[in-house]
Structure 1
Amino acid sequence: MHELSIAMGIVKIAEDQTRKAGASRVEVIEMEIGELAGIAFDSLDFVWPVAVKDTVLEQAEKRIAVIRGEALCMDCQTRFGLQQLYEPCPKCSSNLKVIEKGKELRVKALEVV
């Protein structure tokens, strides 16, 4: 379950930024996670309490914006929604595409005190 290591990485980012801001804790953490990032959201929710225990994020409200997958077909230039990495273009059935959105995994904002 790699979600635990991801959650621990998020804690590290939050601790570093909180220290830089001269704050003691985080009230809100906002994240953007793409549907195609390979994150199981229920697993992330499951490991979150363990990962944030005794850290600046322990009492923080967690807000996640889910980014829908989007691709551009390199053969016919069609933009289309994507729920899985290996979906073909709905117009020409080509598998040659550029994934433009949906693989994000970022901490967007922290509200610290």
Structure 2
Amino acid sequence: MHELSIALGIVKIAEDETAKVKAEKVTKIELVVGVLSGIELDSLNFVWESAVKDTVLEHALKKIIVVEGRGKCIDCDTEFEMENMYDCCPNCNSNFKGILTGKELKVKALEVI
């Protein structure tokens, strides 16, 4: 379950950023998570409370923005939606593609006081 280490990494980012501006706590955090990032949102939500206990994020409202997967076929230039990393082009069935969106994992915003 690598979601715990990801949650702890998010806590570290939040603590570093609040220290920079000399804030005491975070009231809201926005995360961007792509469906192709390998993050299970249910698992992340499950470990979140334990990861943020006694940190600047303990009472923060968490908002997750999910980015859908999108790829572009290298062989025929078709852009298509992707649910899995191994999805092939619906036009020519090629497995050669570039990932356009869906691999994101980032802290988009922190509201601090």
CA shift for structure 1 position 21: 1.1
Q: In the alignment, which residue of structure 2 is the partner of 1:35?
A: 35
Instruction: Indicate the SS of the match to 1:15.
Output: helix
Identical-residue share of aligned pairs (%): 59
CA shift for structure 1 position 66: 0.1
Provide the aligned length of Structure 1 versus Structure 2: 113
List aligned pairs for 1:1-113, cutoff 5 A. Answer: 1-113=1-113
Q: Which runs of 5+ in 1 are unaligned?
A: none
Question: Deviations for 1:55-101, whole angstroms, at most 9, x for unmatched residues?
Answer: 00000000000000000000000000000000100000000000010
CA shift for structure 1 position 109: 0.3
Give TM-score, length-normalised by structure 2: 0.99
Q: Which amino acid aligns with 2:50?
A: V
Q: Which runs of 5+ in 2 are unaligned?
A: none
Question: Deviations for 1:29-65, whole angstroms, at most 9, x for unmatched residues?
Answer: 0010000000111100100000000000000000000
CA shift for structure 1 position 106: 0.1
Structure 1 stretches of at least 4 aligned residues deviating more than 3 Å after TM superposition: none
Q: Find the aligned partners of 2:70 and 2:20 in 1 and give their Cα distance.
A: 35
Q: Which amino acid aligns with 1:14?
A: A
Instruction: Indicate the SS of the match to 2:44.
Output: helix
